[in-house]
Amino acid sequence: MAADIQAGTGAFNRDEVTAIIREQLADILEIDPAGIKESSSFADDLGADSLALIELVEAIEEELSSRVTDFRIDDEDLEDLRTVRDAIDYVMERLEEA
């Protein structure tokens, strides 16, 4: 199901999505957001386990729901998200489908 952007609120740009993901990851993993790069691997570089990734997905969905209706990250797509860049690209692609 494609997300619908609510009237008058506009879409997110890549920098906003990157900031959301970085801030949420830092909060979940209790690390400094400055150490989170687009090339960072969730497991290898950041030490994120599957539970942390699920928490990240929930946090992203909640954050984006303020301006996007029905934004969802499909569970079956979660295994393809290995780096921060993968997550950013995925979210941007889903937003563009709206």
Decide which of 11 and 72 is more confident.
72
pLDDT digits (tens, 9 = 90+) for 27-82: 999 999 999 999 999 999 999 999 999 999 999 999 998 778 888 898 889 889 99
> For residue 5, is pLDDT > 60?
no
> For residue 14, is pLDDT > 80?
yes
Burial class (CB within 10 angstroms; exposed 0-12, middle 13-18, buried 19+) of 86? middle
pTM, full prediction: 0.85
Q: Tell me what pLDDT residue 75 has.
A: 85
Measure the CA–CA gap between 65 and 38, rounded to whole angstroms: 23
Residue that the structure tokens 């889903």 belong to? 94
Domain locations along the chain: 9-96
* Residues marked as catalytic: 49
Contact present, 39 and 84 (Cβ < 8 Å): yes
Does domain 9-96 match CATH 1.10.1200.10?
Answer: yes
In this structure, the dihedral spanned by the alpha carbons of residues 87, 89, 95 and 98, taken in order and rounded to 10 degrees, is: -120
| Residue 42 burial (CB count, 10 A) | 22
